[in-house]
Every structure is written in structure tokens, then in C-alpha cells.
């Protein structure tokens, strides 16, 4: 790259203002083309064809856009998930793709643990019901309510975040089961959890199930009607991973109404912001039957002031390494 020439790096969209941090990392020999749009239809062929690299936040990236990335050396997603990225089209075009896994681990693990502890101790339900108590204040204990040392937490996916959750659970005395076929034998000994050989074993033994796996062909709809049915009666489910893991709100509503599922906490949904559904109406209207039993946070488990900066810097560093060295760290292949 000569002094007169500049690399061109596109950024589709951003949730935190202008890409100034990225510009600092990418350096003066990079021109940033900030699309400032999540609407893929607005990405013009002329702008796409100029790009040496593309960074994606919340926009979709499909074959119609990828066809115009004629000089693109790589696509980098700011986040971890990549359900909106057409990996097959990128592979056909010979364009490598990377996500950004090395940020926010502490935040998601903390968020999951906060959900686990709050639902296990029935704090949200206590709060919801205590508003109507007018006498006998202290006698309104909610049952059943077990000690943490008598409860088992099943962790589905024991990678970076799942491991961080395991490490946070152990001081509270929970028995921890882990299920992750991708981890090598002995991983459970190094981290300190009991390995479940089958998913059904974990579902049937766990008082609390927390999800920390990607959305793939094997995991999408993992907890549908059949999956909820395999849970231990009275279990709690926490999902800070991908919305597609619990993609059937009808099944979730039925499991909660029947009491087979004691409570659920969800940070990610298939549709965001969530649309209209009987379960979501009951949640929004604070219906009595659901009081404190369904907790929904707006897909912000990843967030802290520090993590937001870390995410942006790490994604930009990945692009800078690609431009300098021709290699794409954290490269992902099609796992659909």
C-alpha cells in the first residue's frame, strides 16, 4: 500500500456512535466507510466493491451483498453470534469470516449467574408478590426453596463463557453438571465439574439449566416442547446464549403454565424486540400466574462500559492484523 493509497474498511452499523475507536486502531492508512444502517438493501454495490474488509454489527449480510465484495479480504463480526451472516455465500466467494469471541466473557457469565441466583432464591417472585402483602410479612415464604448445596446446575456448553459460569457457581456450593461434546476428555477434571455423557442426562438431573452454546443445526430448538418435557419437574432455565435455542414460545408458555418449568430467564430471543405472543403479553402485563417466574432482559448480557470498548477494539485489531499479515484470527467456518 503506497502513501497515496488507502485501504477501505466498511462498517455496516454501530450501536455506540461513530467508529472513532476503530479509526484509532486501524490507523491513518485506512479509510472507513461507515454505512450506518442495518438494512442490507441500502448497501450499494459501488460501496461494497471498494472494500478491503467489512465489519458487521447488527446488519444481515447475505448473498446479494457478498456478490459485490470483489476485493474484500475478510468479514469480521463485532459480536460472537453469526446467524445473520451467510457463511456459505462467503465461502463460495472465497472470503474468510471471523467473529469476536474474546470480549464480554465476564459480563455474560455474571449476567447468567445473577439470573441463576435470583430465580433459585425466587427473588423476583418475592418482589412481585410482596407488593400485595398487608399482614404477616415474614411468614410469606415461597416453597419449595432449596439450599444451593442441595441443587444441581447443568451447564450446556462449557467453552469460554460456560467455563466462567462453572467457576462462579462452585463457591456457592452448587453441584455442577456440564455437557459439551466439543470439549476433550479430561476437560471436566481441569475445570472441576461432573461431565454428563448425554444431554438427556443433564436435563433430567438438573434443578437449573443454563445455556452457553452456539445456534447450530444440532442446537436450534434444543428446548422445544420435547426438550422441556425432558427437564426435571420444577426446573429453572436460563438462556444468555442464542435465542434460537428456545425458539418455540408456545412450548415455553405451556411449560411455565403447567408448572413443569418453575421459572425462566432469557436474554436473547429469536425476534428482537419481541413481537406479540400470549406469553409476552402475560409478562408485560405482570399477570398473576407468571409473577416473578419469567425474566427477560434486552440482549445486553454482554454489556459493560469496559466490554463495549473491548469489543470494538478487538474487532478492529482483527481487521488490522488481516490487512498487515493477511491472516484472519478467530476465523469461523460454516457450522450451520
Instruction: Give me the active site residues, please.
Output: 242, 272, 299
- The owner of cell 502513501 is 3
Alpha helices by DSSP H, 132-194: 160-169, 187-191
Query: Residue 11: which H helix or E strand, with range?
Result: strand 7-11
Q: Where are the beta strands (DSSP E) in 111-151?
A: none
What are 56's three cell numbers? 458487521
For the beta sheet containing 294-296, the strands, ordered from the edge strand earlier in sequence to the opposite edge, are 194-195, 175-179, 152-156, 208-211, 235-239, 261-266, 294-296
Cα 297 from chain centroid (whole Å): 12
Contact 220, 205 (CB under 8 A): no
Contact 289, 262 (CB under 8 A): no
Tell the burial category of 33 from Cβ atoms under 10 Å away from its Cβ (0-12, 13-18, 19+).
middle
Amino acid at each position: 500500500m503506497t502513501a497515496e493509497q488507502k485501504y477501505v474498511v466498511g462498517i455496516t452499523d454501530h450501536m455506540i456512535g461513530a467508529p472513532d475507536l476503530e479509526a484509532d486502531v486501524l490507523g491513518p492508512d485506512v479509510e472507513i466507510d461507515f454505512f450506518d444502517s442495518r438494512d442490507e438493501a441500502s448497501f450499494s454495490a459501488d460501496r461494497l466493491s471498494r472494500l478491503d474488509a467489512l465489519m458487521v454489527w447488527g446488519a444481515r449480510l447475505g448473498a446479494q451483498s457478498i456478490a459485490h465484495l470483489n476485493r474484500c479480504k475478510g468479514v469480521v463480526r463485532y459480536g460472537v453470534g453469526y446467524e445473520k451472516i451467510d457463511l456459505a455465500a462467503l465461502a463460495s466467494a472465497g472470503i474468510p469470516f471471523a467473529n469476536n469471541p474474546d470480549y464480554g466473557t465476564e459480563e455474560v457469565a455474571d449476567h447468567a449467574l445473577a439470573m441463576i441466583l435470583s430465580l433459585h432464591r425466587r427473588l423476583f417472585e418475592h418482589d412481585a408478590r410482596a407488593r400485595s402483602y398487608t399482614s404477616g410479612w415474614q411468614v410469606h415464604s415461597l416453597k419449595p426453596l432449596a439450599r444451593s448445596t442441595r441443587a444441581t446446575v447443568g451447564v450446556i456448553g462449557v467453552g469460554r463463557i460456560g467455563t466462567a459460569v462453572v467457576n462462579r457457581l462452585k463457591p456457592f456450593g452448587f453441584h455442577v453438571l456440564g455437557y459439551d461434546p466439543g470439549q476433550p476428555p479430561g476437560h471436566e477434571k481441569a475445570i472441576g465439574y461432573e461431565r454428563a455423557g448425554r444431554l438427556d442426562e443433564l436435563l433430567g438431573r438438573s434443578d437449573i439449566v443454563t445455556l452457553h452454546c452456539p445456534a447450530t443445526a444440532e442446537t436450534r430448538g434444543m428446548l422445544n416442547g420435547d426438550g422441556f418435557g425432558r427437564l426435571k419437574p420444577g426446573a429453572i432455565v436460563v438462556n444468555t446464549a442464542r435465542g434460537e435455542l428456545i425458539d418455540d414460545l408456545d412450548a415455553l408458555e405451556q411449560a411455565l403454565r403447567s408448572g413443569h418449568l418453575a421459572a425462566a430467564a432469557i436474554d436473547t430471543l429469536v425476534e428482537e424486540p419481541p413481537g406479540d405472543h400470549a406469553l409476552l403479553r402475560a409478562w408485560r402485563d405482570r399477570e398473576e400466574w407468571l409473577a416473578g417466574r419469567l425474566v427477560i432482559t434486552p440482549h445486553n448480557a454482554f454489556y459493560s462500559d469496559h466490554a463495549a470498548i473491548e469489543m470494538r477494539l478487538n474487532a478492529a485489531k482483527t481487521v488490522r492484523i488481516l490487512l498487515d499479515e493477511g491472516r484472519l484470527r478467530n476465523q469461523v467456518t460454516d457450522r450451520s
